């Protein structure tokens, strides 16, 4: 699960036809779509000139209140209003620190040749053009839906809202089905869920563990998280670059991760029995032309939201040797479809973990071949000749909201420890949360807290 890109932003100009259905293609862009600009300025059309990094030094907002503006033109949503998706530019122009003259950048989309890894995988396997974020809001509630099919009544970025929430991993475990979250540097959304960390390496591992497990015993259900922070390892004189594609992290770094995962699975003994999903958590405030649907099952409604409306579309590619090249699915999916599919495949007699998971459509019926293909590419063109690290890397950047909330989740774990076991002020020199103010120091701290909180998963790698 990558970060904060809309379907149109990544796939809108791909224009992939469906060879099985004449005239059918992905629901992308015509090139005539536009959004109203700030007062006195002409409307901003969509364009195929997105760059790998640099367009979004001010992060486009994806907070619940801003998504309302992007969809309905107002917050709160007027009674009976219908989403028109005409507020993206205006909302971005209003963000603190942004130059209104740059607000039209949220209409920029990628030319297919600029993202050759995703483009090739989309052409070779299946694109889902109706996969929506579970919440019309930010990262953490949507990642909570990906792990637990609920956000526990939250549409905000509070990482402590899910501490006692049960996830798909515990549900599969009760059915004697193995599962694991793999990430980088101990920095994982699993910090939000107490039971995942207290069970250590039963549910958690590093990305290198995933690669090793492909040669050994791979869990039935695996969830891979990208690297969320840039940081520098002084001991090895090595830079590690965020590869989550969160604006304004370099999109090419994420392409390398996606290619690494695909090529590793493709070369493994598990390829012939695998289904790999590449999806994004939410749209990140970037334009998409399709209004999100309503009428989905409500889960833990709150005074802010009744949870019967989904978020915006996100890119989603399904990869398997049992999928015909050029497959296009117009079925409606959302992140609860992950739990619905995992349960349906591996624990069909188990009850759905939430009402949303019970309603969500599973996606394993997208497997449309009786026998596995042998013509799937073994290597992908990564366009590495033009890959350059963004100048905002190497750990010196300030923290975006997602990074700050990941940090807060780790800090919460740390604060629960006895004083002589805490990381802050003991293992790292910083003494207060406010001192952890760059990607570098936050990454080092989180890595140390992960080793302390779950030594079986991360202790040897701290």
Q: How far, in Å, CA of 144 to CA of 82, rounded?
A: 27
Range with the poorest average pLDDT among 233-237, 248-252, 347-351 = 233-237
Which residues pair with residue 204 across a beta bridge? 181
Q: How far, in Å, CA of 350 to CA of 366, rounded?
A: 22
Does the pLDDT value for residue 389 go beyond 70? no
Chain Cα centroid distance, residue 305: 22
Mean pLDDT calculated for residue range 263-280 = 98
Q: Which two tokens stand for residue 17?
A: 């036809």
- pLDDT tens per residue across span 183-230: 999 999 988 998 898 888 899 999 999 999 999 999 999 999 999 999
Output the pLDDT for position 386. Answer: 56
Contacts with 39 (C-beta within 8 Å, 6 or more apart), sequence order:
none
- Per-domain residue ranges of the chain: 113-366
Output the pLDDT for position 393. Answer: 53
Hey, how many other C-beta atoms are within 10 angstroms of the C-beta on 457?
28
Q: What angle do CA 240, 243, 246 make, to 5 degrees?
A: 125
Output the pLDDT for position 200. Answer: 81
Output the pLDDT for position 391. Answer: 47
Radius of gyration, CA atoms only, the chain: 21
In the chain, % of residues over pLDDT 90? 83
Q: How far, in Å, CA of 81 to CA of 292, rounded?
A: 13
- pLDDT tens per residue across span 156-180: 999 999 999 999 999 999 999 999 9
Q: How far, in Å, CA of 295 to CA of 396, rounded?
A: 44
Mean pLDDT calculated for residue range 24-31 = 94
Q: How far is the CA of 454 from the CAs of 157, 203, 204, 223, 383, in angstroms? A: 23, 10, 9, 18, 37
Does the pLDDT value for residue 300 go beyond 50? yes
Tell me how far apart the terminal alpha carbons of the chain are, to the nearest angstrom: 24
Q: Which two tokens stand for residue 326?
A: 């050029």
What's the whole-number average pLDDT of the chain?
93
Does the pLDDT value for residue 246 go beyond 80? yes
pLDDT band of 462, cuts 50, 70, 90: very low
In this structure, the strands spanning 44-45 and 316-319 are: unpaired
Output the pLDDT for position 385. Answer: 59
Q: How far is the CA of 294 from the CAs of 55, 103, 280, 297, 382, in angstroms? A: 32, 28, 20, 9, 38
pLDDT band of 17, cuts 50, 70, 90: confident
- The dihedral sign for the CA sequence 286, 291, 294, 296: negative
Hey, how many other C-beta atoms are within 10 angstroms of the C-beta on 56?
24
Say which CATH class 113-366 falls into: alpha beta
Mean pLDDT calculated for residue range 309-315 = 97
- pLDDT tens per residue across span 103-119: 999 999 999 999 999 99
pLDDT band of 460, cuts 50, 70, 90: low
Q: How far, in Å, CA of 113 to CA of 108, rounded?
A: 15
3-state secondary structure of 382: coil
Mean pLDDT calculated for residue range 351-370 = 95
Q: How far, in Å, CA of 123 to CA of 356, rounded?
A: 31
pLDDT band of 395, cuts 50, 70, 90: confident
8 A C-beta contact, residue 149 and residue 162: no
Q: How far is the CA of 182 from the CAs of 337, 428, 453, in angstroms? A: 20, 24, 16
Output the pLDDT for position 306. Answer: 92
Contacts with 177 (C-beta within 8 Å, 6 or more apart), sequence order:
220, 221, 346, 347
């Amino acid at each position: 699960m990558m970060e904060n890109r809309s379907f149109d932003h990544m796939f809108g100009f791909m224009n992939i036809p469906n060879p099985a259905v004449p005239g059918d293609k992905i629901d992308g862009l015509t090139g005539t779509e536009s959004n109203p600009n700030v007062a006195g300025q002409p409307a901003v059309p969509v364009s195929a000139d997105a760059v790998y990094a640099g367009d979004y030094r001010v992060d486009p907002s994806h907070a619940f209140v801003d998504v309302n503006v992007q969809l309905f033109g107002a917050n709160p949503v007027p009674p009976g209003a219908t989403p028109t998706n005409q507020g993206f530019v205006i909302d971005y122009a209003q963000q603190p620190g942004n130059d209104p003259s740059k607000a039209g950048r949220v209409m920029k989309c990628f030319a297919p040749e600029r993202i050759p890894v995703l483009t090739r995988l989309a052409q070779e396997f299946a694109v889902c053009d109706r996969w929506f974020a579970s919440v019309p809001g930010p990262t953490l509630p949507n990642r909570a839906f990906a792990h637990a099919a609920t956000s526990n009544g939250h549409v905000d970025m509070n990482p402590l809202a899910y501490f006692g929430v049960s996830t798909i991993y515990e549900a599969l475990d009760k059915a004697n089905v193995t599962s694991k979250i793999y990430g980088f540097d101990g920095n994982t959304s699993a910090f939000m869920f107490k039971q995942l960390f207290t069970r250590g390496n039963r549910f958690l591992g590093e990305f290198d563990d995933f690669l090793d497990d492909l040669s050994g015993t791979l869990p039935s259900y695996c969830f891979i998280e990208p690297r969320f922070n840039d940081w520098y390892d002084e001991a090895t004189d090595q830079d590690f670059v965020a590869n989550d594609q969160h604006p304004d992290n370099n999109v090419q770094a994420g392409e390398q991760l996606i290619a690494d995962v695909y090529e590793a699975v493709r070369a493994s003994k598990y390829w012939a029995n695998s289904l790999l999903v590449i999806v994004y958590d939410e749209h990140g405030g970037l334009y998409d032309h399709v209004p999100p649907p309503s009428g989905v099952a409500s889960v833990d409604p709150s005074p802010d939201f009744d949870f019967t409306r989904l978020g915006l579309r996100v890119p989603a590619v399904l990869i398997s040797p049992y999928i015909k090249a050029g497959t296009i699915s117009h079925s409606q999916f959302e992140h609860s479809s992950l739990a619905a599919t995992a349960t349906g495949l591996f624990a069909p007699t188990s009850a759905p973990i939430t009402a949303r998971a019970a309603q969500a459509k599973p996606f394993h019926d997208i497997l449309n071949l009786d026998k596995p293909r042998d013509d799937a590419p073994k290597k992908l063109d990564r366009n590495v000749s033009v890959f350059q690290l963004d100048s905002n890397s190497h750990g010196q950047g300030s923290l975006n909201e997602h990074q700050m909330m990941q940090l807060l989740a780790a800090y919460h774990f740390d604060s629960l420890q006895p004083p002589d076991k805490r990381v802050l002020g003991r293992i790292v020199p910083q003494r207060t949360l406010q001192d952890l103010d760059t990607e570098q120091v936050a990454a080092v701290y989180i890595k140390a807290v992960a080793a302390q909180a779950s030594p079986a998963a991360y202790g040897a790698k701290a």
